[in-house]
Amino acid sequence: MANEHYTPLNILFVDDSAAVRAVYEQLLKKAGYCVALAAGPEQALELTRSFIPDISIIDYYMPNGGGVELTRRLLQQTNTQNTLLVIHTDQRVSAADALSLGAMDVMYKRDSVDLFLLRIASMERYIRTQQANREQATLQAQNEYAAFQQGVAEMSANILHNVGNTIQGMRSSLEEVLLHFEDLKKIQSLYAELIDSLAMERASGGEQRLEQLEQTLTDAGYRLPEALDNLLVPTGHCFQKLGKGIDHVTEVIRVQQRGVHSDVQRDTFSLRQLVDDLFILSESELSQREINFKQWNIPAFPEVKLPRNQLLQALINLVKNAAESIDARIEAGELEPGKGEILLKMDSSAKMLSIEVSDNGAGFTKAEHPHLLEFGFTTKVSGNGFGLHAVGNFVGLCNGKMEIQSPGPWLGAIVVLSLPI
C-alpha cells in the first residue's frame, strides 16, 4: 500500500467498555487504519456527522439493545448507508440474526488478534476493489461524455459547414436577381420618362417632337420583349438555384435530425440528375471566382441506391475545397486568375461507383497528407478543416474508400471516392 494516493480506511469502533475500545483502537491504528471510538449509539451517530466510516464495528450487546438500534440507524443515514457493518460480540449471535440486521459479518471478541485483522484486511480488499470499479466507471463515463461532446461539436460544425456552403451559393444567386431587378427598374424609368414627355408635347402642341417621341416609344415597345427575355430568363435560373439551395438546406437539417449515428438512409436516384444539381448549386460561386468547372466521361448511368443528399453534400464539399485550393495558389502568385480548373469524373461497375474530383490548386506536401482527414486540420489560411473530414465520415458510413493524392505543392490534387452500390 506504499502509494502516494493511498488513503487509510475509516473504521468506527463502538463498544460500551473503555478497556475494549482502548485495545482495539491501538490494534487497528497500528495496522494503518483511521479509527474513531464511541461508547454508545448516540455518541457514534454524533461522530458520523464529520467521520464517514468505511467499516463500522458494533458491539451487539450494549445496554437497551443499543447495538441493534445503532446498526439500523447507520444503515438508514444517507452518509453511512454504505458502511460495511460488523457485529462484534463475546456471545454467540447467529449469522441469520446478524445478516437480517444488514451486517456483513460477525466477529467474536475471543477470536485471535491475527484472525481479527485478517478479516478486516479481507473487507478492505473488497472496499478497495469497489472503489477502483467506481473510479473506473466514473472515468469511463467522463471519457464517453467527452466523446459525446466532441461528437456534438463535430456534428454542429458539419451542419454549419454544409448549410454555409449552400447559403453562400444562394446569396450569389440573390445578388444576381437584385441586379436584374435594378435593370427592370431602369426600363420602367425609361418608359415613364417617354410617357411624361409625350404628355407634355401633346399639351404644348409640338407636332414634330410628338411624332418623334411616339416613334421612339413604338421602337422601344418592339424591343421590350427581347429586353425582358434577356432579364427574366437568367432571373428564372437564379430562382431555380435558390429553390435548389433551400431544398438542400432543408434536407441537411432533416438528415441531422435523424441522428449522426443513425443507419445510412439509401435512396434510389439518377446520378445524372445529381450531377446537374451539383453544377446548379456550385455555379454562382465558381463563376464569381472565374473557376472553370468541367465534367468528363459522365455517361447516362442507371439509377443507383446511395444516400443521395449526403453524397451531394460530399461533392459540394469537395468542389468548395478545390476552389479554395485554387484561390490559395492564385494568391501565392503560382497561378493566373481565371486559369483555375476543377474536373469531375465518374465511373461505375456492377458493385462500385468511382467519383474523382481533381483541381489545379495548391496541392499539399507528403507531411500534410496523413492529417488531411483530421477534424479541424486545414492547409488553407481561411479554411476550417471540416469539409474533407465530413466527406471522410460519409464515405466511412457507406463502407467505401477515399483516396487523396497530390504530386506536390502548387501541383493540384485529386480526390477519389469509391462507394459500394
pLDDT reported for residue 230: 75
Tens digits of per-residue pLDDT, 234-253? 777 778 877 777 777 766 66
| Residue 2 pLDDT class (50, 70, 90 cuts) | very low
Tens digits of per-residue pLDDT, 213-238? 778 778 777 777 777 777 777 777 77
pLDDT reported for residue 1: 43
Look at 25-34, 67-76, 83-92, 217-226 and tell me which has the smallest mean pLDDT. Answer: 217-226
Residue 124, in any domain of the structure: no
Instruction: Please state the three-class secondary structure of the chain as a single string.
Output: CCCCCCCCCEEEEECCCHHHHHHHHHHHHHCCCEEEEECCHHHHHHHCCCCCCCEEEEECCCHHHHHHHHHHHHHHCCCCCCCEEEEEECCCCCHHHHHHHCCCEEEECCCCHHHHHHHHHHHHHHHHHHHHHHHHHHHHHHHHHHHHHHHHHHHHHHHHHHHHHHHHHHHHHHHHHHHHHHHHHHHHHHHHHHHHHHHHHHHHCCHHHHHHHHHHHHHHHHHHHHHHHHHHHHHHHHHHHHHHHHHHHHHHHHHHHCCCCCCCCCEEECHHHHHHHHHHHHHHHHHHCCCEEEEECCCCCCCEEECHHHHHHHHHHHHHHHHHHHHHHHHCCCCCCCCCEEEEEEEECCCEEEEEEEECCCCCCCCCHHHCCCCCCCCCCCCCCCHHHHHHHHHHHCCCEEEEECCCCCCCEEEEEEEEC
274 and 420 housed in the same domain: yes
pLDDT reported for residue 97: 72
Residue 138, in any domain of the structure: no
245 and 327 housed in the same domain: no
Residue 134, in any domain of the structure: no
**What share of the chain has pLDDT > 70, as a percent?**
83
Look at 296-300, 346-350, 368-372 and tell me which has the smallest mean pLDDT. Answer: 296-300
Query: Which of 35-44, 135-144, 219-228 is predicted most confidently?
Result: 35-44
CATH number at residue 79: 3.40.50.2300
Q: Is the pLDDT of residue 372 over 70?
A: yes
Residue 88, in any domain of the structure: yes
pLDDT reported for residue 140: 76
pLDDT reported for residue 54: 94
Region 14-18: what's the mean pLDDT?
A: 93
310 and 408 housed in the same domain: yes
Nearest alpha-carbon partner for 25 in 10, 41, 36:
36
Which residue, 111, 135, 170, sits at the end of a domain? 111
Domain count, the chain: 3
Which residue, 212, 231, 259, sits at the end of a domain? 259
pLDDT reported for residue 245: 74
Residue 232, in any domain of the structure: yes
211 and 308 housed in the same domain: no
Question: Do 278 and 312 form a contact (C-beta atoms < 8 A)?
Answer: yes
Q: Is the pLDDT of residue 293 over 60?
A: yes
Residue 121, in any domain of the structure: no
346 and 217 housed in the same domain: no
pTM above 0.85, yes or no: no
Question: Do 234 and 180 form a contact (C-beta atoms < 8 A)?
Answer: yes
37 and 177 housed in the same domain: no
Tens digits of per-residue pLDDT, 323-343? 999 999 999 999 999 999 999
Contacts of 133 (CB under 8 A, 6+ apart): none
Contacts of 302 (CB under 8 A, 6+ apart): none
409 and 287 housed in the same domain: yes
Provide the mean pLDDT of the chain. Answer: 82
pLDDT reported for residue 405: 95
251 and 288 housed in the same domain: no
pLDDT reported for residue 89: 84
Contacts of 371 (CB under 8 A, 6+ apart): 377
pLDDT reported for residue 254: 64
- With cell 475494549, the residue in question is 20
Look at 43-47, 84-88, 293-297 and tell me which has the smallest mean pLDDT. Answer: 293-297
| Domain extent for 177 | 150-259
| Residue 261 pLDDT class (50, 70, 90 cuts) | very low
Residue 144, in any domain of the structure: no
Which residues pair with residue 107 across a beta bridge? 88
Cα–Cα–Cα angle for 239, 245, 251, rounded to 5 degrees:
140
405 and 351 housed in the same domain: yes
Query: Which of 185-199, 225-239, 399-413 is predicted most confidently?
Result: 399-413
270 and 408 housed in the same domain: yes
CATH number at residue 274: 3.30.565.10
Q: Work out the number of other CB atoms within 10 angstroms of the CB of residue 374.
A: 12
Question: Do 71 and 136 form a contact (C-beta atoms < 8 A)?
Answer: no
275 and 223 housed in the same domain: no
Question: Do 85 and 104 form a contact (C-beta atoms < 8 A)?
Answer: yes
277 and 404 housed in the same domain: yes
Question: Do 293 and 279 form a contact (C-beta atoms < 8 A)?
Answer: yes
Which residue, 111, 138, 166, sits at the end of a domain? 111
Residue 81, in any domain of the structure: yes
